[in-house]
Chains A and B, each alone.
Chain A
Amino acid sequence: MNTMLITGTRKGIGRYLVDYYIERGYRVVGCSRSAPDFEIENYQHHELDVADEKAVAKMVRAVAKEHGGIDVLLNNAGIASMNHFLLTPLRTVEQVFATNVFGTFNFCREVSKVMAKRKYGRIVNFATVAAPLKLEGEAAYAASKAAVANLTQVIAKELADFNITVNAVGPTPVATDLIRGVSDDKINDLIGLQSVKRMGEYRDISNVVDFLIQPESDFVTGQVIYLGGVS
C-alpha cells in the first residue's frame, strides 16, 4: 500500500483529497492545526502547524518509521488574506508566509529526505492563479504563492537526482472557506480572466494531481500547472 502525506486535511480541498486517494488505495496521513471531525480507515491525523519545524520533522519521521517510507506529498495547507495592501498588517503577511511558504518548505525538506533514501518520490505543492493574474487585493497571498512556485522549480532541480519530482498545481477559485469572504462580483471578475470561464471543482485539482504523481510522470518536474487556462 502506498503512503501519501497531505497537509491541511481538516476541510476544503485537503479533506476531499483524503477521501479521493483512500478510495484509490492509498494510506493517507494528514495534518491540520485543529482536530478533524471525521475518522476513516487507512487515515491517520496529526495535529500540528505546518510552520512548526520541529513538529513537522517529528511527524514525518514517525510516518516514515511506521509505514516504511512516503511515496507522495501534497502540500495543500494554505491560508489567504484578501485585503488592500495598504490596510494589511505585517503580522498577517507573516502568518500567510508562515503557512504557505515555510510550511511547504518544512514538509518538502523533511519528506524529501525520507524519499531520497528510497530514491523515489512525488511532491505536489499548491500555487494559485492569483499569482500569475497578479490579483489586486491579494498581495500577501499571491506573493506567498509566487514563492511556492519558485521554490517548487528550484527544489525540483535539487531533487532530480533522487528521482523525486516536484511540481505544483495552481487552482482557480473553488468554493471552500478560503474564499468565503470574497464577494460574488469579485469572483465573477476573476473567472472572467480565465480562458475557461467557470468555478473550479475539486475534481479539477485531483485530475492534475493524478497526472503529476503517477510513476510514468518521472520526466515531469518543476512545472506549475494552472487551471482554467490561466498562464
Chain B
Amino acid sequence: MGITKEEVEYIARLARLEFDETEKEAFTHQLDKILEYVDKINELDTSHVQPSSHVIPLENVLREDNVKESLPRDLVLANAPKKERGYFKVPKVIE
C-alpha cells in the first residue's frame, strides 16, 4: 500500500508548504520508497520487545526549580521583523 498524491498534498498543507505538480509527483514517489524501506522492520517478530521511544538508556533527567535570568528584552525582540511596545507583532490572526 503506497503513499498517494492526496496524502502528500495533505501533509504539505499541514506543514504550510507549497509544491508544484512535478514536486508532488517526486515526493509521492520518494516518500513511498522511504516507507517501503522502513517497512522492512515489520519482517521481524517484535511481539516480545518493549516499545521504545528513546534510544539512550536514560530517564528522569530533572533540574531544580531555580530561577535563571531571562534574556534582556531588546535581545529577545532583536530579530523580530515587527515589534510594538515590547510585543512581537504579527499579522492579525482571528480565531
Q: Do A and B come from one complex?
A: no
Residues on B facing A (Cβ under 8 Å):
none
Binding site for B on A (CB under 8 A): none
